[in-house]
Amino acid sequence: MPRVYLSLGSNIEPERHLKAALDALAAEFGALILSPVYESEAVGFTGENFYNLVVGIDAELTIGQLAERLRAIEYLNERRRSGEKFAPRTLDIDILVYGDQVGTVEGIELPRDEILKYAFVLRPLADIIPEQRHPVVGKCYRQLAAELDLGRQKLWPVPFDWRPPATPDAATPD
C-alpha cells in the first residue's frame, strides 16, 4: 500500500473546510499524518489568505481512483471547478507524491510540480518527510525547503485544532 501525500488548501472559511476534508480523509483512509497548518497570501490573484497543510495517507486505490475520491470530497465542500484556475476556493486537494511513482499516471503528474514552486506546498511537506528525497531532483525535502526563497512567498504557521472523529471501534464500554 503506497504512502501518499496530499496538499490541502482553502481560503473560503478555511478552518471549516479543512476540518471537513480531514474528517472525510480519516473516514476513508484511517490514520492521517498531518503537517502544521500555514497561512499564506493568495498566489496568482488578489484574495483572502489561504490555509494550507500536507496530509499523509496510506491508500489502496489507484491514482485515478484516489483522484476521483478527492474530487468528491472537494465537491461535498462546495468546490466547483468551472471557474478560473487562480481564484478563491473552499477546498483544493492535490496529490503531491504517490509512493515512488514518477511521470504522468492516469492523468496525474507525479510528483506534482508545485512542490518545487510554492512554499505553501513544500514547507509543510518538508515538515512531515524532511529526509525523503524528491524522486526527480534527488534532494531531500528539508534541503529544498531551505533553498526556496521564502522572501517571495511569505507563509506563517497558524493554530489549528483538529481531532479525528470518534469511531465505534474506538469507544470503550462503560
Query: What confidence tens digit (pLDDT) does each residue in 12-60 have?
Result: 999 999 999 999 999 999 999 999 999 998 887 778 999 999 999 999 9
Which string of b and e fits 80-117 if b means at least 16 CB within 10 Å?
Answer: eeeeeeeeebbbbbbbbbbeebeeeeeebebbbebbbe
**Whole-number Å distance between alpha carbons of 50 and 91:** 10
Closest CA to 25 of 170, 168, 172, 164: 164
Bigger pLDDT: 165 vs 61: 61
What are the structural domains of the chain? Answer: 3-160 (3.30.70.560)
Residue found by looking up cell 480523509 in the block: 25
What tens digit of pLDDT does each residue of 51-103 get? 999 999 999 999 999 999 999 998 887 655 555 555 577 899 999 999 999 99
CB-based contacts of 138: which residues, under 8 Å, 6+ apart?
none
Residue 9's pLDDT is 94
Residue 174's pLDDT is 47
Average pLDDT over the chain reads 88
Determine if the pTM surpasses 0.75. yes
